[in-house]
Amino acid sequence: MMQVSIVVNGERREAEVEPRQLLVYFLREQLGLTGTNVGCDTSSCGACTALLDGESVKSCTLLAVQADGREVTTIEGLANDGELHPVQQAFQDAHALQCGYCTPGFVMASVSLLAENPRPTEDEIRQALEGNLCRCTGYHNIVKAVRIAAETA
Amino acid sequence: MIPASFEYRRAGSIDEAVELLGSDPDAKLLAGGHSLIPMLRLRFARPGLLVDVDRLDDLRYVRRDGDRIAIGALTRHAQVAQDAVLRESCALLADAASHVGDPQVRHRGTIGGSIAHADPLGDLGTVLLTLDADAVAVGPDGERTIPLREFFKGRFQTALGPQEMLTELRVPAVDAGAYLKHVRRSQDWATVGVAVARVDGRVQVGLTAMGMTPLRAEAVEEALAGGATSAEAAARAGEGTAPESDSSASGEYRAHLAHVLVRRALDELAGV
């Protein structure tokens, strides 16, 4: 077992983990943060996207020990005092979800995109979200939501 | 899918990594983990010891070094894609890195990890081979330089010894170049990829997914050196290759794609 200390959504969390523990299961099962979903489990679908030191990562393809000493942000860490993050609000306003399973991953990937490129073109948005899959075929409104978020942020 | 159990050690230096590799015959290096962790989860790989080198931030750099450009092995794809030196002097490598996986993968995956993994469908190995890059590796007997032409030994097999760590890649500045990749869907591995580069006036051509390792299209290069047109040279793209058939393409289709993509890449090069 390894001792890890990870700042998750602004709060330092100390825990014992097996080295093989994947970050997504650490978040979901040890910390109870179940907003980060497991989808394909093969680094393809992006449902497990979280931020590591501000950058989007697939938390099913990261060991919890690799996040030791670093900062992780999950979907639960975005809203501020009950007020939705601009990307979350835009997803709601643009009706950018149907079943919602992929949504936390899309929101986190979009937050990472806008941090790197605050005014992306539609094409850049589509390229930047290529690592996230939506099986309700909701891409049109997802792209619209990111555009709205970019304009309002 | 959960990996099988392994021991985990974090290396604080290259020397410590090499020493740890020697402590367990089933040890493997872990960098960004974007090739290895999927294999651990599928249990295709079951190392006894993982030596995590991903904290060796000194190995993330791109800098000019004489007439070459040195790239630290732990430089992440996203950094390679955006690096100003590479964008100016070796844009095809930056461009190929910008199409590896997806943004999340590029935030973690490293150029050295990708090369050491030696997946025959990987893009960066082909680009580096086409550039006649050099790999620098450190082992118990010190440092050595391995020309990329001698680096890939087979599918997932390289010239690296069991206790060696890849530390740097060295590429030349190129006059012009391009990497074209055909994929069935965004984010897929290359069905076929083609790298072309003009280095010191000579055109060099490489192929992805046309064999067990990245390949040089030597017949195409010879034809071009002999004055052939792009179309004539491209017709020889399949010579010396052994493309496999799999769920994304037949070997025959891959040979067809190689022909078409080499012609397009050469046309693009000529237009620069």
Question: What residues pair up with B179 in beta bridges, in sequence order?
Answer: B195
Question: What residues pair up with B215 in beta bridges, in sequence order?
Answer: B207
Residues B82-96: what's their mean pLDDT?
A: 97
Nearest to B115 by CA among B153, B152, B77, B71: B152
Instruction: Tell me the C-alpha to C-alpha distance, in Å, between residue B36 and each of B25, B30, B113.
Output: 17, 7, 9
pLDDT in tens, B14-26: 999 999 999 999 9
> Is the predicted pLDDT of residue A47 greater than 60, yes or no?
yes
Q: What is the CA radius of gyration of chain B?
A: 18
Q: In 3-state terms, what secondary structure has residue B62?
A: strand
> Is the predicted pLDDT of residue A3 greater than 60, yes or no?
yes
| Residue B252 phi, psi dihedral angles, 5° rounding | -65, -45
What are chain A's domains? 2-76 (3.10.20.30), 86-152 (1.10.150.120)
Q: What's the pLDDT at B36?
A: 95
B7–chain A nearest CA distance, Å: 7
Residues of A in contact with B102 (CB under 8 A): 46, 130-132
Cα A145 from Cα A92, distance rounded (Å): 8
Taking a C-beta distance cutoff of 8 angstroms, is the pair A7, A52 a contact?
no
B190, burial (CB in 10 Å: exposed 0-12, middle 13-18, buried 19+): buried
* H or E segment and range at residue B205: strand B202-208
Pairing of strands B152-154, B157-158: antiparallel
A106–chain B nearest CA distance, Å: 11
Token digits for B196?
């072309």
Q: What's the pLDDT at B269?
A: 93
Q: What's the pLDDT at B159?
A: 98
Residues B148-153: what's their mean pLDDT?
A: 98
Residues of A in contact with B104 (CB under 8 A): 43, 46, 49, 56-58, 109, 131
Judge: A131–B40 Cβ closer than 8 Å, yes or no: no
Cα A90 from Cα A97, distance rounded (Å): 11
Judge: A65–B52 Cβ closer than 8 Å, yes or no: yes
Taking a C-beta distance cutoff of 8 angstroms, is the pair A52, A9 a contact?
no
Report the 10 Å Cβ neighbour count for A139.
16
Nearest-CA residue of chain B relative to A49? Answer: B104
Report the share of chain A in percent with pLDDT over 70: 100
Nearest-CA residue of chain B relative to A51? Answer: B104
Residues A84-95: what's their mean pLDDT?
A: 97
Report the 10 Å Cβ neighbour count for A138.
22
ipTM of the complex: 0.96
Taking a C-beta distance cutoff of 8 angstroms, is the pair B181, B124 a contact?
no
Mean pLDDT estimate for chain A: 96
Residues B59-63: what's their mean pLDDT?
A: 98
Supply the pTM of this predicted model: 0.96
What are chain B's domains? 7-52 (3.30.43.10), 60-172 (3.30.465.10), 176-271 (3.30.390.50)
Residues B119-133: what's their mean pLDDT?
A: 97
Nearest-CA residue of chain A relative to B30? Answer: A66
Residues A37-50: what's their mean pLDDT?
A: 93
Distance in angstroms between the alpha carbons of the first and the last residue of chain B: 47
Instruction: Tell me the C-alpha to C-alpha distance, in Å, between residue A46 and each of A33, B186, B270.
Output: 17, 13, 39
Taking a C-beta distance cutoff of 8 angstroms, is the pair A75, A8 a contact?
no
Report the share of chain B in percent with pLDDT over 90: 94
Task: Indicate the pLDDT class of residue A41, thresholds 50, 70 and 90.
Answer: confident
Q: What's the pLDDT at B272?
A: 56
